Amino acid sequence: MRYIGTIMRLQIQESSLKIGSNPRRYDPAPIQSVPALSLSPAGVVGLAENGETIVDVHHHDHPASKNRRGENGVSLGFTAHYLAMRQRFGRHLRDGIAGENILIEVDRQLLVEDLAGGVVIEGASERRLELRPVIVAAPCVEFTRYALRFPDGARPDATVTEALRFLDAGMRGFYATYSGEPAVIEIGARVFLS
């Protein structure tokens, strides 16, 4: 295993970040930061400071679940990727704005090939939690338009296509599967490549 960084932010999506119709648009308002997450094969649940539990929209048991047979139950993002996105699109792309559950502070960008063996998080009591497989979370048009500050209702053009290419291959983030026993992770947990 190779250490890559620490968890600097945990969050859940209470509902879909794509809202409206014709055209749909990206709205980060349902993203809620939490100090801890409960992981299970069904997905993640946020553990708020007041003791409240908040089910992520990608959790199997969410009433409007966006879970795809467990392959997107957990999502990962990296601070070095946000730095690159801010350099290209602007400061409005603050850390976590893409909605990943686990944001890891790293000093370099990671490719899907780097994550091929999976990710290991050192949870509470130094318990190691394996997330695998890790796959690219393909960027959606709505997030891409948000990144570009593309006007609502404007017809997508080559700018959007180029931005979609830039955000793909893991720049926007990754999905992972957790198949172990239910466990809790907290901000500050160490993360390794398997």
The per-residue pLDDT for range 81-124, each reduced to its tens digit, is: 999 999 999 999 999 999 999 999 999 999 999 999 999 999 76
The per-residue pLDDT for range 54-90, each reduced to its tens digit, is: 999 999 999 999 999 889 999 999 999 999 999 999 9
For residue 20, what is the domain's CATH number?
2.40.33.20
pTM, to two decimals:
0.96
Rounded to whole angstroms, the Cα distance separating 176 from 63 reads 21
Q: How many domains does the chain have?
A: 1
Q: What residues make up the domain containing 21? A: 2-193
